Amino acid sequence: MDLWRFFDITHREHVVWNPISIEKLEELIALLRLRPGARVLDIASGKGEFLVRLAERYGIEGVGVDLSPYCVADAQRKHQQRVPEAHLRFLEMEGADYAPDELESFDVVACIGASWIYGGHKGTLSALASMAAGESWIVVGEPYWRQPPAEEYLAAIGEQRSTYGTHKENVEVGQAQGLELAYTLVSSPDDWDGYEGLQWCAAERWARAHPEDPDVEAVLERVRRNKMAYLTWGRETLGWAIYVFMKGAYGLKPGC
């Protein structure tokens, strides 16, 4: 079935498409302390909640990029309903293909939970840094291993041990590129349970409401398989965090 339709079905109950609470999202927004008119780029912007909340709080200008037509439509509706006066644009396109008119021009550049777009955490930080202004914030969301993953878990989720680093290794990747870690927001077990559980609930409700849909079996099979992998291994093994880096921090140079 269409990948983005699957995610639209399983994430329709989510405000954000990541295992982070709204309270922690608000904590991140408060931390940034942006000036009115600050320019923000959000790659893989999802339903647009981050940019819309920044516009509500600070009056920023923003660009959101996402490949899902469902997400882009949701984000555009939020924009018009909540901050119609804000200068926000939501583009339906591959994130890696987005090129700003001018490099190093954004006050905040974010990619929260989609580092695969740039080939992983290191590539994501490099790409975001090229679009971030000289003194700015770079915000990324990235999984990390809480403990060495079982081979059965890796097979179940189709990943390798090298796909992710530890929490400390994720920080070191940024430091190696001359970025200074300013803050982290780490998902709790409750955050993860909510993120995963809303997918199970959304899928089951959708299947009951659309029993004749040709994708019902495919959706439920995938969701139930992912559920067992999470309950068997994932909850104790895989963590997730938002890393807030500063570009242009005092005394730092690339490669330090």
C-alpha angle 225/19/193, rounded to 5°? 55
pLDDT at 1: 85
* Predicted TM-score (pTM) of this structure: 0.94
253: pLDDT strictly greater than 80: no
Average pLDDT for 233-244: 98
pLDDT of 20 > 80? The answer is: yes
3-state DSSP of 170-196: HHHHHHCCCCEEEEEEECCHHHHHHHH
Closest CA relative to residue 231, chosen from 192, 185, 187:
192
Q: Which is nearest to 118 in space by CA: 102, 142, 101, 137? A: 142
Q: What's the rounded Cα separation, in Å, for the pair 16 and 54?
A: 14
The whole-chain average pLDDT of the chain stands at 95
CB count within 10 Å of CB 7 equals: 17
Q: Tell me the sheet residues that pair with 106.
A: 132
What are the pLDDT digits (tens) for 131-186?
999 999 999 999 999 999 999 999 999 999 999 999 999 999 999 999 999 999 99
pLDDT for the residue 223 = 98
For the chain, the structural domain boundaries read 15-188+237-247
- At residue 252, does pLDDT exceed 90? no
**If you search the block for the tokens 């559980």, which residue do you land on?**
197
- b/e map 98-110, b = 16+ CB within 10 Å: eeeeeeeebbbbb
**Where do the DSSP E strands lie in 46-129?**
61-66, 88-92, 106-112
Domain 15-188+237-247 in CATH: superfamily?
Vaccinia Virus protein VP39 (3.40.50.150)
* pLDDT value, residue 135: 92
Q: What angle do CA 168, 180, 66 make, to 5 degrees?
A: 85
| Cross-strand pairs, 40 | 62, 108
Q: Work out the percent of the chain whose per-residue pLDDT is above 90.
A: 95
210 vs 1, which has greater pLDDT?
A: 210
Residue type at 247 in one-letter notation = K
* 124 Cβ neighbours under 8 A, 6+ residues apart: 111, 115, 117, 118, 140, 142
- Span 195-210, average pLDDT: 98
What digits encode the pLDDT tens for the residues 51-104? 999 999 999 999 999 999 999 999 999 999 999 999 999 999 999 999 998 888
What pLDDT, on a 0 to 100 scale, did the predictor assign at position 251?
Answer: 54
- Tell me the mean pLDDT in the region 37-56: 98
Q: Which two tokens stand for residue 63?
A: 């660009």
Determine the Cα angle at 37 with ends 126 and 116, to 5°: 25
**pLDDT, position 229:** 97
User: Does residue 37 have a pLDDT over 70?
Assistant: yes
